[in-house]
Amino acid sequence: MEKRRVVVTGLGLITPLGIGVKPSWEALLEGRSGIGVITSFDSSGFPVHISGEVKGFDPLLYIEPKEVKKMDRFIHLAVAAATMAMEDCGLEITGENADRVGVVIGSGMGGLPAIEHYHKIFLEKGYRRITPFFIPMLIVNLAAGQVSIKFGAKGPNSAVATACATGSHAIGDAFRIIQRGDADAMIAGGTESVITPMGIGGFAVMKALSTRNDDPGKASRPFDRDRDGFVMGEGAGIVVLEALESAVKRGARIRAELVGYGMTSDAYHITAPAPGGEGAAACMAAALKDAGVSPEAVDYINAHGTSTKYGDEIETAAIKKVFGEHAYKLAVSSTKSMTGHLLGAAGGVETAFTILSMEQSVIPPTINLDNPDPECDLHYVPHTPKYTDVECALSNSFGFGGTNACLLFRKFRET
């Protein structure tokens, strides 16, 4: 059976840079960091005092008051970003098409804030004081569940939990669902909100986080010689994917075409990437093969680029392995230099940024790249955006456990 073509018709974003696609994108092109001092809890006893928090978010603008208390923050963010994406695409779900519209939204860690809050209540006051909404607040699949309930989407409904590759895997899985004809449209992406004592503390004891507390805006510095770890962020990135014929039939604005999806495993270590980037390289190559696109056709890579010592070096090595001499001709940038690392939401957010890059013929910069690591010698678009045509672009996401996801997008052409 011939695979159906799949296009992107809607985008929704909530990031440390802003609430909505427009403010997030504008801040990105301005090179403005969303990193600041943690306000969600007292971090004075921790080695890390910085994060990429979403500021000024009000779930009541998107969710009924009686429903808000049934959801943890990662679900609030997902529902809000999905609402933006559905408004952007103009897709109306009715009794006639509801079973042909599905949802795949994942989260790396789910409702950690709810777990911490109600564990404290349990210890102090006993189990009877735990809210009956506790389990639905925290389980990962309730982001997808709540979105499907809000919009009446009765098609495939699933959740992904693959650490930092979650958002990209969710979009890739939704892509496959449409390709094989099991749905005509999918709401897909990732969401995360774990800037909590346990979340920050857990990554801090792993020595994974930057401790550049005196200068938060300079802390996330992918590919820079002086990087000292990633900065945790929160947010959600949701897209609406549609079968081409469905989008054309309703006269939808087509923002891009998703043409390739790769997924591999390093099978190496619980947190460290495989030496030489073998798993990441295999994943990028798989996305290219799936799309039938040559390496030379790719203009831009939105890198995983977390600002960790080995991660950035190994991703660079993987890009060279797949793209050869062309690796030095294409542009690579890490938008995490401004958003921080949104864990399970990263792939969804970076998918949106990749699509906007193609739409507007501009590549967002990697800020804070003041002293490039000699091992990281590609064109990372330092400091300021690069205005150039982007016909084909790749978005990379690599997670703990060695799980890898790559999505390849192309400007939409009718043939």
The backbone torsions φ and ψ at residue 41, rounded to the nearest 5 degrees and listed phi first, read -160, 165
Could you report the per-residue pLDDT of 259-283, keeping only the tens digit for each?
999 999 999 999 999 999 999 999 9
CA pair distance 110, 130, nearest whole angstrom = 18
Q: Does the annotation count 326 as an active-site position?
A: no
* Annotation marks residue 392 as catalytic: no
CA distance 358 to 365: 14
Q: Rounded distance, CA 125 to CA 282, Å? A: 52
HSE-up of residue 176 (Cα within 13 Å, Cβ side): 13
Q: Give 320's contacts (C-beta < 8 A, 6+ positions apart).
A: 327, 378
pLDDT digit string, tens, across residues 392-412: 999 999 999 999 999 999 999
Q: What is the pTM of this model?
A: 0.98
Residue carrying structure tokens 């986080």: 209
The type of residue at 80 is A
Low-confidence ranges of the chain (pLDDT < 50): none
E strand spans, 16-66: 18-19, 36-37, 50-51
Give the pLDDT score at 232. 98
Alpha carbon 22 to its chain centroid, in Å, reads 17
Give the active site residue among 76, 89, 164, 376: 164
Q: Which of 76, 89, 169, 304 is catalytic?
A: 304
Contact indicator for 294, 262 with CB cutoff of 8 Å? no
Q: Is 341 a catalytic residue?
A: yes
Looking at residue 209, its pLDDT comes to 98
Look at the block and give the residue holding tokens 């690599």: 398
pLDDT of residue 48: 98
All domains in the chain, ordered by first residue = 6-249 (3.40.47.10), 260-410 (3.40.47.10)
